[in-house]
Amino acid sequence: MSFIKRASTLKERRLSTRPSPYHLDVTLVEAESVAESSNAVSRRSQRVKRESADEPLTEIESLAPGFNSEPSNRARQSSSSPVKRTGSASPRKPKLIPQTLGTPHPTPPRWKETYDTIKEMRSHIVAPVDTMGCDQAQNKEVDPKNRRFATLVSLMLSSQTKDEVTDAAVTKLRQAIGGTLSVAAVMAADEQTVSDAIGKVGFWRRKTQYIKQTAQKLHDEFDSDVPKTVDELCSLPGVGPKMAFLTLQVAWNLNHGIGVDVHVHRITNRLGWHKPPTKNPEQTRLLRLNLQSWLPTELHGEINHMLVGFGQTICLPVGPRCDLCQLSPKGLCPSARTVVKSKSRKSVALTESGPGIEIAIESNLVETQTLADSPSSLPSPLTEEES
């Protein structure tokens, strides 16, 4: 019985050899179980995988027979060892911006008469966008690259911010970084300097990061200049389609699409130019494609500026001045409001020790009635990325 037990024990064990750590001519022979051997191999393979390819061998391993003194030994040449790839990852491809609709949007009735009427009104109005818009930022720069970069920065700051605040921030930023709004100057400035200069605009913390990252990317990939395509512009941090189209129009005099902001979004919906109306920011892209599908191409470059000024002075977000608008008398605006003025006389009697004094206070009460425009039909404000 003991002989059988011993034989079975020998089958479960096998001999292994290893060089003696004390003398090169001595080889040690050891008996180990199959389970221990397999566990050792497993542990050894895991250790080899974790080892770096350029890690030098230990002194014992370098002297042991069967090992090469070069770093690329047999264990590291094993096919089971993962190969670590070097080099930077492939750059992410820019997301393509759609330019056309599969089915063009129907042309709104009397749109040309409406467009010409608004354009005529705008010719007699000086709006904030006319004196402090994004196209004004380039006028204080001489170098063509700096002029284009100043336009881009102004557009990045204008999101969810009034033109007056944007213009002041651009001026302060230019002074803070040395008097010239250039890619090199923005890269050299620290984030705190940029943040202090643009602190009055909306989302200033995020815009500080966007401007710094954009300057670095323009330097690395576009020779410190503003790119000339919509897709390349939209690959910049914080730049969306609206900014891209307006940048191309102002900086490069290229007409590649309509820039849709909150004013264009609101006014074109009030005019009934979209069926169905676009009521939320997610439909802004559809609104732009709708307009581009039927509005003549030669008008794409001017409609944003025209409607922005119209929205800043007459077609206000709250309390639009329909009494001053020429669209209402012509029946061109389905959202027009009628304004009814009435006068009421209020009297207040003051009694003192003496003759009574009666003071009459006259006030004008203004009542507005909505014909085809209710709060639920107005579009929601755009987010920073959409505007």
Please check whether residue 251 is in contact with residue 64, taking contact to mean a CB–CB distance below 8 angstroms.
no
Strands 337-350 and 357-370, by their bridges, are: antiparallel
Note the helical H segments in the chain.
2-11, 34-50, 59-63, 111-122, 128-132, 144-158, 163-176, 183-188, 191-197, 204-221, 230-234, 241-251, 262-270, 284-294, 303-313
b/e for 184-195, b at 16 or more Cβ within 10 A?
Answer: bbbeebeeeebb
What is the Cα–Cα distance from 166 to 201, expressed in whole angstroms? Answer: 7
Is residue 13 classed as helix, strand or coil in its secondary structure? Answer: strand
What is the Cα–Cα distance from 230 to 197, expressed in whole angstroms? Answer: 28
Type of residue at 57:
L
Residue 123 structure tokens? 């010719």
Residue 108 structure tokens? 């709104």
CA distance to 159, 230, 357, per residue, from 240 (Å):
10, 9, 65
Q: For residue 205, how many other CB atoms are within 10 A of its CB? A: 11
Please check whether residue 154 is in contact with residue 137, taking contact to mean a CB–CB distance below 8 angstroms.
yes
b/e for 326-337, b at 16 or more Cβ within 10 A?
Answer: ebbeeebbebbb
Query: What is the full DSSP assignment across 107-140?
Result: PPTTHHHHHHHHHHHHTT---HHHHHSGGGGGGG
Is residue 29 classed as helix, strand or coil in its secondary structure? Answer: strand
Catalytic residue chosen out of the listed positions 11, 112, 242, 330: 242
95 carries an active-site annotation: no
Q: Which residues are identified as catalytic?
A: 242
